[in-house]
Homo-oligomer: A and B are copies of this chain.
Amino acid sequence: MSEQGGTGRHGRNAGGGVSVSGIGEFGLIGKITARLSYGPTALLGPGDDAAVVTAPDGRVAASTDVLVDGRHFRRDWCSALDVGHKAAAANLADIAAMGATPTALLVALCMPADLETGWAEGLADGLSAEASSVGASVVGGDMSSSPTLTVAVTALGDLEGRPPVLRSGARPGDVLALAGRTGYAAAGLTVLTRGFRTPRVLVEAYRRPQVPYAAGPQAATLGATSMIDVSDGLLADLGHVATASGVAIDVRRDAFDVPRQMADAAQALGVDPYTWILAGGEDHALAATFPPAVALPAEWRPIGVVTHGAGVTVDGAPYDGPTGWDHFR
């Protein structure tokens, strides 16, 4: 696509490395696609007008998430590799939350012209590694110069013959269960915001979420009635399930242990750790509801119940802390 206006021609950026404008669009695309690896779901990878991906059951699950520099990540807090993992995880978790297995990622990358090419390569490595960890591949993308570094990712997935698990299927009497962890990434962000770099387990959780991808298809197979990716904060995301399903959800606070390092950090920083656990996003845990007769495997920890009514409560009472995020406020 042609462009109006233009950036200056910089062969090298301020750091002395080769900049994306120095190498040019096609040079950079070549360098990046050479770093990617392709699994069996990628029938045709980058390099043509479109990629071709398997969709064995005749449907494809598809989700898009965008990360903006300074809002969803900071380059002084996260390496390019981290941002790649993080961007991929945010999207792959959405696919898992439908009960689907991810197959492919496509990436639209907007970069300042003086960005070092190594940053784009690191990003590609992170995206590719996170995708590979679930058998998916980075199959395509686009790049443009932009004043604001932005990574928009689309993930595709295979429902493997099952119906998608929606947000709208929770029923009174269902058990609410959680796979994965909450509060770690939010605690890590608070730690970084206050100028610290440790505890590492929290900071690393913020940099690279550990997503229980396999628990998504597992929940679908077990008969989960609803499921959601916890990206905005547990209570905020359960609020989406409660609204979509026309039910009330109660979370038991004692279902959550506060891990020692989180407790220590909370004390040092003067924060209630349950604010992180109940309202922090970005760990990409999966929350699902199951009929009470379902025997839950170890991956799925009961944390509450679904009842008649509306809204989300904690131990039967409204929660009065912060509950989540709005991207424009």
Contacts and interface: CB of A to CB of B under 8 A. Distances in A.
Interface of A: 1-7, 9, 20-21, 23-26, 28, 43-44, 47-68, 70-74, 90, 93-95, 97-98, 100, 104, 106-111, 113, 139-148, 150, 152, 154-157, 159, 164, 166-168, 185-186, 189, 193, 227-229, 231-233, 244, 280-282, 324-329
Contact of A98 (B49, B106, B107, B154): B49
Given A50-B164, A55-B59, A58-B58, A24 B64 contact: no
Given A48-B166, A60-B60, A62-B154, 16 more contacts: A1-B65, A1-B67, A2-B282, A4-B189, A21-B329, A25-B326, A25-B329, A28-B328, A49-B63, A49-B97, A49-B227, A50-B61, A50-B98, A60-B156, A65-B142, A143-B327
Nearest to A50: B63
Report the copy number of this chain in the oligomer.
2
A192 B261 CA distance: 60
Contacts of A65: 1, 108, 142
B24 A328 contact: yes
Nearest to A104: B62
Nearest to A282: B2
A3 B327 contact: yes
A47 B244 contact: yes
A32 to B, nearest CB: 13
Contacts of A326: 24-26
Contact of A48 (B98, B109, B141, B232): B98
A52 B98 contact: yes
A146 to B, nearest CB: 5
A26 B6 CA distance: 35
Given A44-B164, A61-B50, A68 B110 contact: yes
A109 B68 CA distance: 11
A281 B68 CA distance: 28
Contacts of A54: 58-59
A66 B142 contact: yes
A1 B63 contact: no
A2 to B, nearest CB: 4
A24 B113 CA distance: 31
B21 A328 contact: yes
A280 to B, nearest CB: 7
Contacts of A189: 2, 4
A50 B157 contact: yes
Contacts of A280: 2
Interface centre among A6, A55, A141 (most CB of B within 10 A): A55
A71 B186 contact: no
A95 B53 CA distance: 13
A100 B9 CA distance: 38
A55 B52 contact: no
6 smallest CB-CB distances across A and B, nearest first, come from A55-B55, A50-B63, A108-B152, A152-B152, A148-B148, A66-B108
A152 B68 contact: no
